[in-house]
Amino acid sequence: MIQTITDKYEKWLKADLPEDLRSQLMKLSDDEINDCFYKDLEFGTGGMRGVMGPGSNRLNIYVIRKVTRALALYCICNSGKSRAQGIVISHDNRLHSREFTLEAAKMLSSYGIKVYIFDDLRPTPELSFAVRKLGATAGIMITASHNPKEYNGYKVYDRQGCQLTPGKLAPFLDLLKSMGNEIDTQYGDYKPAGEIITLGKEIDKSYISRVKSILLNKDLDKSNLKIVFTPQHGTSLEIAKKLFKDLKYRVTYVTEQCTHDPLFSATDSPNPEMPEAYNLALEYAKKVDADIIMATDPDADRCGIVIKDKNGNYRLFTGNETGAMLIDYVLSQRKALGKLHENGIVFDTVVTSSFGRKIAEYYNMRVESVLTGFKYIGEKIRSHEKARDYEFEFGYEESYGYLLADFVRDKDSLQALTMILEMTNYYLLQGKTLDVVYDELQQKFGYHRDKLYSIYFEGQFGKMKMDSIMEGLRNNPIKEICGNKLAYFEDYSKSASYNPDGEFINYIELPPTDLLKFYFDDGSTIAIRPSGTEPKCKFYYGVVGKSQEEVDKKPDAFHEEVKNIIGL
């Protein structure tokens, strides 16, 4: 029976709620009631993520119980060994993260499933590592990544330490839909209940050891490299400190952001993609004349950098730019050391810059592009591992996610910190700052500029607006942009490409998703997709040109014209 918004709201009113949720519920306006109950919170590209509060479209203990009950049944149905193998749970620094972790553990235990929970918050990549290390059947990460403080989230990992991809997610979501109203969710009564085991430093030591194993030039002189680091109040702090100490780096910490503050009080943004995330760190950098600022997001899967350039100014690198430099450094050094596989493979995403691909192909690497979401890279790693055809070398996405070694099957900021610092130091010892290194790569492979714009569409009608924009562009593709003619376009919802007149060209061997990508005769691209984790539409512009000046101007011009085309 389909429940109306009023039915769902009244059911919550009658429930025996914790005082904080009841207080929030009673203060909701009519519009807020609609937004809290018009749908159930959904899984996107990065799991389930939403604003905390009362309602089916909010994250709270009842939604946590419901989704965890579905996961328990999913695991038990998949394998009779799931109860003994267990499920690992970790969490970030956000409000209610520990509470949600304990609720999830209680639900799993009630179904006889052994549960591993860390003694405190831990990074997302360490959760992925722990699932593999412990031979667990699944993993849960309670986090909203880089979202604002009002959010929290729930990521689910398979036994490979990879987030659930569509094929595995579908039966889980079917179970979730059958759970009924979140308020009615009951615990299991399996006897004996599953043991709840607390994990301490032993997993940390194993994980840090594996991270250090990715080093290529271990004996570089580090005495002159000056580093500023911020965990943005998040989970990387303790692991990063131990790592930096072991590697003998000289690090200045942004003290105000080295507390696990769920309100993110000392940062203007916990998202390392945003320039304002570095405001306080820049003050520190200028005081100590730092060569590099490094920032991780709250759950420590993303890593961003600001470097001091050849003129002494501080410059924020994009994920595409850092990824391109890492590809060149890692592949060139592995080649020099005789460690580069002849059958090596590099992974990026369909909205990642073409620049990294060109560099990887120069080293005779196979390059495969996957859909947005690092789970698809994790899935590909496993696929080639089973086929024994290609050896993993590197994986990355434009949103500051990098993976150097596959003992983790998600993006890993601790691996990124380790290799970016080695790379920075390597070039500084040659008298080169990273802006010089990047410009040399552009001189060799062509000038590229990739820029992401996001437009927010909040609430129920925002989703309708995004759907309308995507449908309009499918029916009337962008034929010309700033004088550049459309060569062809890809509609990933149909897994197919088309010529400018809409005639079919070929199929795309990727799962269907809500994404359009346009290719123009100058080599530039535009990709447009609704976010899988936030109420916004993302516009990715990848431009190429003959000079830095030319490519710096193009993305803004493209975006203004696209906004006019779609009526914004």
Q: Which residues are catalytic?
A: 145
Determine the Cα–Cα distance for residues 106 and 46; give it in Å rounded to an integer: 24
Specify whether the CB–CB gap between 142 and 100 falls below 8 A: yes
Angle at the Cα of 112 (from 108 to 115), degrees rounded to 5? Answer: 50
C-alpha distances in Å from residue 222, one per residue of 22, 225, 413, 419:
55, 6, 20, 13
Which of 238, 235, 257 minimizes the C-alpha distance to 122?
235
Which of 377, 399, 412, 349 minimizes the C-alpha distance to 534?
399
Q: Residue 499 has what DSSP assignment? A: -
51 beta partners: 151
Give the contacts of 440 (CB within 8 A, at least 6 positions apart): none
Which of 134, 198, 143 minimizes the C-alpha distance to 161?
134
Strand order in the sheet with 401-403: 366-370, 344-349, 391-397, 401-403
Specify whether the CB–CB gap between 153 and 145 falls below 8 A: yes
Helix 5-14, helix 30-37: angle, nearest 10:
100
Angle at the Cα of 478 (from 477 to 479), degrees rounded to 5? Answer: 100
Q: Residue 338 has what DSSP assignment? A: T
Cα-flanking dihedrals φ and ψ of residue 175, to 5°? Answer: -65, -40
Q: Which helix (H) or strand (E) holds 558?
A: helix 548-566
Encode 79-91: b = buried (16+ Cβ within 10 Å), e = exposed: eeebbebbbbbbb
Specify whether the CB–CB gap between 383 and 432 falls below 8 A: no
Specify whether the CB–CB gap between 522 and 484 falls below 8 A: yes
Longest C-alpha distance within the chain, in Å? 70
C-alpha distances in Å from residue 467, one per residue of 44, 231, 350, 439, 564:
15, 36, 20, 39, 17
